[in-house]
Structure 1
Amino acid sequence: MRIGEAAEAAGVAAQTIRFYERRGLLPQPPRGPNGYRDYDASVLNRLAFIRSGQAAGLTLVEVASILELRRDGAVPCSHVQSLLVTKREGIRARQRELAALEAEIEGLISRSDRLDPADCTDTKICHIIVRDT
């Protein structure tokens, strides 16, 4: 199948397929006598895997590392699990940071309800954000 057909079947743009080829995520397909790329059905499985990995939060570099292990004959399950555990830890850390930020913003909103705009000076710029020291 040609690149447009593969792209449509996989639900991606042809440009995405070319990008994945340049990044080594997809093997270079053979070209027909007319110079067009000629893909077999296996490219659809590979594209589905790449998209699923990205949907799980994996970067293209991480997806490539999984593909490389598989290409070398290894079963990448423990590597994938390790990547996912690391992703989860990062998400949880970000959630804690966001919760702290939310609390800070809630405090500033509460503070803004108690302040009089007439008391704001030019040197503070905004007395909601800059607290008296």
Structure 2
Amino acid sequence: MRISELGQATGVDVETIRYYEKEGLLPPPARAANGYRAYGAAHLERLSFVRHCRALDMSLAEIRHLLDFVAHPEADCGEINRLIDEHLGRVQARLKSLSALENQLLALRASCGAGHVAADCGILHELVAAAHDEARACRAKAENPERHGPS
């Protein structure tokens, strides 16, 4: 199959397929007599694996590592467990951060009164106040860098 057909079959953009080839996640395909890339079932399977890993928000380095294990099924899977545990830890930290962001936005939204003009908007007042506080802290740090430590 041609690259466009592979992309259509997997839902992966043609440029992304080329990028995965360049990064070594996909083996180079054979070339047909007309110079087109000729992909086979193995490419489809591997690209589907990569796509699924990306849907799990895995990095290309993590995927590359997992592909090494696919190529060596006799290897001990302890490293796979560690990789997934580390990835899970990063996802959990991001969820915690997103939850904190959600709480900030909910509090910000709750600060809005029934005003209908920007001058009376509680959200804008809160954002402007926070920006002033941050700017003040930045000025203090710039004026007295030894007191605030390296950035």
Distance between the aligned counterparts of 1:42 and 1:88, measured in 2? 29
Please show how residues 11-90 of structure 1 align to structure 2 within 5 Å. 11-72=11-72, 74-75=74-75, 77-90=77-90
Cα distance 1:63–1:107, how it changes in 2: closer, same or farther (>3 A)?
Answer: same
Query: Unpaired segments of 5 or more residues in structure 1?
Result: 119-125
| 1:111 Cα deviation from its structure 2 partner | 5.5
Q: Deviations over 1:17-75 (max 9, x none)?
A: 21111010010112123222122211111011001111112112211111123335554
Contact 2:10–2:44, Cα closer than 8 Å, also in 1: yes
Cα distance 1:105–1:68, how it changes in 2: closer, same or farther (>3 A)?
Answer: same
Q: TM (normalized to structure 1)?
A: 0.70
* % identical aligned pairs: 36
Corresponding position: 1:4 with 2:23:
no
Q: TM (normalized to structure 2)?
A: 0.63
SS state at 1:89 partner: helix
Structure ranking higher on relative contact order (CA contacts 8 Å, 6+ apart): 1
Q: What code does the residue aligned with 1:44 have?
A: L
| 1:98 Cα deviation from its structure 2 partner | 3.0
Cα distance 1:104–1:19, how it changes in 2: closer, same or farther (>3 A)?
Answer: closer
SS state at 1:92 partner: helix
Q: How many residues align?
A: 125
Cα distance 1:80–1:127, how it changes in 2: closer, same or farther (>3 A)?
Answer: same
**Structure that is richer in helix per residue:** 2
Query: Unpaired segments of 5 or more residues in structure 2?
Result: 114-118, 131-151
Q: Deviations over 1:105-124 (max 9, x none)?
A: 444555565xxx78xxxxxx
